[in-house]
Structure formats: C-alpha cells, structure tokens
Amino acid sequence: MPTPPSPDPHTASATASVWNRVAQTDDFKKLLAVKKAFVIPATIFFVLYYFALPISVGYFPAFVQRKVWGPVNIAYLFALSQFIVAWLIAYFYVRAAREFDARAAAVIKDLGNLEAKGN
C-alpha cells in the first residue's frame, strides 16, 4: 500500500471548507455508497433474523418444539444457527471492508491533492 500523504488534522480543521470539499469528492461519495450498500442490508437482515428467534419461540411454541433429530428440536437448532449466521455476516463484512479501506485510501489521497493546490 502506498503511504498516503498525512494531512495535519489541525490545520485541516482550521479550514473547515477542506473537509466539505473532501466530502464532495466522487471518491468519498462512492465510499459512503458502497458502505451503505453493505451495512444497511446486512443490519436489517441480522436484526430480522435475530428477532425471528424470540418471536417464533414466544408465539409459535408448537412449531419450534417439533423434534428434528432425536430429542433435538427446531428451537435449539434455530438458536445455534444464530451463531453461524453472526459469524458469516462478520466474515462477509471483513471481506467487503477491504474495498472500504481501498476507497478510504483514495479519499486520503484526494485530500493531499486538495491541500497541495493551496487550500
């Protein structure tokens, strides 16, 4: 990874317009867009999947008590699946975050360019 130019945050915040201009760059907008495209659906999914457990356990007891393997019932397997799903989402997030990091590095480069132009 190339070393990003390290802008001094204190001189940068003195000219708040630099932050605004970074926020307006295509690279930054794209970074937010790709992040949102992952984080929002992933969050909605895990929240829905999680609450499906207490809802089914609390309101559909006959269904979750159905035995699947010997005495093991749907309730226990559903609860175990929450662990697997949580780990999987974490794995996919870490994979997606590689792109976030690359895009963040591009934004940092943009800021270096903006400052070099005398802003």
Partner 1 sequence: MNTTLILFLAFIAITLGITAWASRLSGSSASYFAANRRVSAWQNGVAVAGDYMSAASFLGIAGLIAFFGYDGFMYSVGFLVAYLTVLLVVAEPLRNAGKYTMADVLAYRLHPHPVRAMASLSTITVSTFYMIAQMVGAGALVALLLKGSGISFRVAVSGVGVLMIVYVVFGGMIATTWVQIIKAILLISGTILLSFMVLAHFGFSLGAFFTAVSQVHYHLPDGTEVVKDFLTPGLRYKPPYGALDLLSLGMALIFGTAGLPHILVRFYTVPDAKTARFSVVWAMWLIGIFYILTTFLGWGAATIVGRDFIAKNGGNNMSAPLLANALGGPIFFAFISAIAFATILAVVAGLTISASTSFAHDVWTNIVRRGQEHNPGEERRVARIAAFVVGAISIAIAIVLGPTANVAFLVALAFAVAASANLPVILFSIFWKRFNTAGAVAGLATGLLASIVLIFMGPSIMTVDAPTVAAAARHIIQHAPIFPLENPGILSIPLGFLGAILGTLLSKRDLAGEEKFAELQVRANTGLGAEKAVAH
Cα–Cα distance, 57 to 76 (Å, whole number): 10
Cα–Cα distance, 33 to 35 (Å, whole number): 5
Cα–Cα distance, 28 to 44 (Å, whole number): 24
CB of 119 to partner 1, least distance (A): 14
43 phi-psi bin (left φ>0, alpha ψ -120 to 50, beta other): alpha
CB of 3 to partner 1, least distance (A): 14
Our CB check for partner 1 shows the closer of 80 and 113 to be: 80
Interface contacts to partner 1, rule CB under 8 A:
7, 9, 12-13, 16, 19-20, 22-23, 28, 31-32, 35, 39, 42-43, 46-47, 50-51, 53-55, 57-59, 61, 64-65, 70-73, 75-76, 79-80, 82-83, 86-87, 89-90, 93-94, 97, 100-101, 104, 107-108, 111
